Amino acid sequence: MRKTLDVSQSEEISRSFYAQLGADGLANRTRPEWDEKIIAAVIEMLPQDARVLDVGCGYGRIALPLARAGFEVEGLDLSENLIEAARRAADAEGLRGGFRVGSMTSLPYPSESFDAAICVWSAFNELLGEDEQTRAIREMWRVLRPGGVGVVEGRPYTEPSESDIESGARRGPEHRVEWGLVEGILNPHYRHDERSFRRICDAAGVARFRVFERDWGGRQRLFLRIDKPSS
């Protein structure tokens, strides 16, 4: 019998996935040439001398290179094993910044404490319900200083086929949750488009945002960019 979707288990599913895959398994899913292009693209989006929050930072794939480039970076992830790997790497290089275990729906930082908040490598899309996504966007908005920028990245939306719906490969409201496996481990993702991003930004009280697609390390990705007014 097909399992029903329980979006309240989003973080439990993600935590289990990364506990099984581990930092090495996650790192094996990328390539140095991809990361080099992506890190350059991230830096292009950041204010100069920004204090950056990397939400869903994993083992520090983006946060550590940003710290090497001179940014002050804080990383947050719900997976203890990934955060421990990031801390070890940062300590070994003497990089400034810090890494915490925590949820993107309840950020453990004061309001207006970052110039930029990024959530890339589809980490945001592992929140399977729009209520959770709204809380996460509201939290990113809260911790941004006036003039700050937030960036969310994930796979572009595709329409589900009848077989996707019938098999349970696409689930939930509007069949937006792609119920898939990575390395044989359950790792579902929410498929956003401009309409769904607009819903959650409106619900979060974020007035200034835009949605666009661009090349991202050789692959096409969908972006949400939020801009907090300077005054």
- Residue 209 domain-assigned (yes or no): yes
DSSP structure string for 99-113: EEE--TTS--S-TT-
- Residue 153 domain-assigned (yes or no): yes
How many domains, the chain?
Answer: 1
Query: Given this model, what pLDDT does residue 195 score?
Result: 98
Query: Given this model, what pLDDT does residue 231 score?
Result: 75
- Residue 38 domain-assigned (yes or no): yes
- Residue 96: pLDDT band (50, 70, 90) is confident
Query: Given this model, what pLDDT does residue 112 score?
Result: 98
Query: Given this model, what pLDDT does residue 4 score?
Result: 46
- Residue 1 domain-assigned (yes or no): no
Average pLDDT over residues 187-194: 97
DSSP structure string for 26-89: HHTTS-HHHHHHHHHHHHHHSPTT-EEEEET-TTTTTHHHHHHTT-EEEEEES-HHHHHHHHHH
CATH at residue 41: 3.40.50.150
- Residue 2 domain-assigned (yes or no): no
Does the pLDDT at position 2 exceed 80?
no
Query: Given this model, what pLDDT does residue 97 score?
Result: 86
Residue-wise pLDDT for 133-150, tens only, equals 999 999 999 999 999 999
Query: Given this model, what pLDDT does residue 1 score?
Result: 31
Rounded to whole angstroms, how far apart are CA atoms 188 and 98?
28
**For 6-20, 40-54, 107-121, 127-141, which range has the lowest pLDDT when averaged over its residues?**
6-20
Q: Give the mean pLDDT of the chain.
A: 94
- Residue 199 domain-assigned (yes or no): yes
Task: For residue 33, give its domain range.
Answer: 7-227
Provide, rounded to the nearest whole percent, the portion of the chain with pLDDT above 70: 97
Does the pLDDT at position 98 exceed 50?
yes
